[in-house]
Structure 1
């Protein structure tokens, strides 16, 4: 049995790149101590502590659609619903350890847990 370090996700809306392509499927890895500590030295975070989320997510999202790189600019370009989803997803896999995220039916507003598929150790 291997320790799962990467998790697949699907953004509720999706990232639209400069060519108009939509990217919804992605992979997020578990955060390391360095992922949470090193961004604190970034001047953008020192000027605006809320920017920590942008840098942190850009470090732990390893894949988003067919984008070649994930950087703070990509995370800045996400719709607010997708950013909120990724923040919750990050907390879910890093803090609670539960392989699921809360979802909501768009038709009836019923909330339920959706199992997250792990990709295994890298």
Structure 2
């Protein structure tokens, strides 16, 4: 099974650049620990915690249409429906998947998978 680190997406509305071109197709990568920690030092995030989403999306969106780079200005100008879409995608691709182990029934010998929690849940 291949390890996927980048995920393509299509924004519901898209970002319109200064030439009127709408950019909807993009790619988002897995977040790293640094992606989640370093933005907390950003003065804009410290003044307004809601700005964390903007800084975080700027770090993990690797491509949007034909734009040469993604910066805070671009993410700030996304329609709110696109921002909600991206936040949902971020949660999906960075969610911790449950650990499944193979078990065998001691009575009938049937093999099956069981989810195991390491967090005491």
TM over 0.5: yes
Q: Which residue of 2 aligns with 1:60?
A: 60
Unaligned runs of 5+ in 2: 98-121
What is the RMSD of the two structures over their aligned residues, measured on CA atoms?
Answer: 0.9
How far off is 1:19 after superposition?
1.1
Aligned length: 97
For normalisation by structure 2, the TM-score amounts to 0.78
Within 5 Å, which residues of 2 pair with 1:34-113? Answer: 34-95=34-95
For normalisation by structure 1, the TM-score amounts to 0.77
**SS class of match (2:95):** helix
Give the whole-Å Cα distance in 2 for the aligned partners of 1:93 and 1:28. 9
Unaligned runs of 5+ in 1: 98-122
Rg larger in 1 or in 2? 2
Give the whole-Å Cα distance in 2 for the aligned partners of 1:39 and 1:18. 27
CA distances 1:42-72 after superposition (whole Å, capped 9, x unpaired): 0000000000000000000000000001011
Q: Return structure 1 stretches of 4+ with deviation > 2 angstroms.
A: none
How far off is 1:18 after superposition?
1.1
